[in-house]
Structure 1
């Protein structure tokens, strides 16, 4: 059983630094009530008496702490032996390799997590990690189903309305969309939809069609950068 050994008991160490700290404490007590300084000084004991008192208290406290930790370890072992033998042996195996400090409190918490079903002793959380699976929308039917709004940056001077930021995943990777309404002249208003991320031509066309279905004006979907090599960088929704 992995545990932290309690330090060997040692006698209380009387040092000049401790005596100086005790003298300072008594001086501050007298200075706090200067009118009663003489009466306070009469009731203050010497440094030798204080060191002797601390030596007695030190032994008592050390014994109490040692007894407390021993009691808690006995309680932890009793909880351990409440498990079936096969599970108990497995718990002892994982306790030897787990990252928790070798303390009775952490051991009891591990036992409690196993009792509640939050920790599997045969698949401990610090050695087995579930594979992450990205949330994708492979066959979307609407733009709102595929892309979620994640921001609304300040509009540019050339924009004809508020700029929206979206993100989603069609299966090839996460995509970020920046939708900027633009207007050229009086009658030519369209939505400039800039796509960032791994996006094929077919996916770019699909994004344009989904966005166009929710809008009356024209949608122009374009790819930012060159993620797809020689693929076209602009496609107007039809």
Structure 2
């Protein structure tokens, strides 16, 4: 396992260049104060008045002026083209949890690539903050303290089976797949317990960012073979 480019006991905000509302960045930084920019996200960071702790990517989107304004030891160029800049960040940082901002707004293909990156880095406790929802990859077991009537969407990124408690439409015995059964627009009847085998995205209303982070982090810690340290470093 490679040594992370950024390793911190504080949570990390990952900033992309995909467009976002300024209050979203402020919200993320209030919870995850270490700012790491994914390539062109560095331009957005400086425009918002923030100097990122690190910039990670292939640097095909960040402007020369921004590169010149950031100390060289904070610039981490990764030239390979087999992963997105978001994926490069996910594999290169270690923190208690991550909040990703600016990865869903500008282009739908970039948003889909961000979902794929979540699946490829399942050890990270990363929540994507979107305009209407928060999105994360479900750990094998997940406990969500939801109120009755809360929208809970589940989207499989491959074959998935699972069990649920607290959903209006239980998922027990269903074979989920992207080209088969999906689980959008389900609804909580109260606190929700999920057990899943396979890559399942969870989408919740964005005002549930904080409980989503807490539930995801707890689920990742429980799933890590060697405890919290193993979950943070990805192995």
TM-score, normalisation: structure 1: 0.19
**Greater relative contact order (CA < 8 Å, ≥ 6 in sequence):** 2
The structure that has the greater radius of gyration is: 1
TM-score, normalisation: structure 2: 0.20
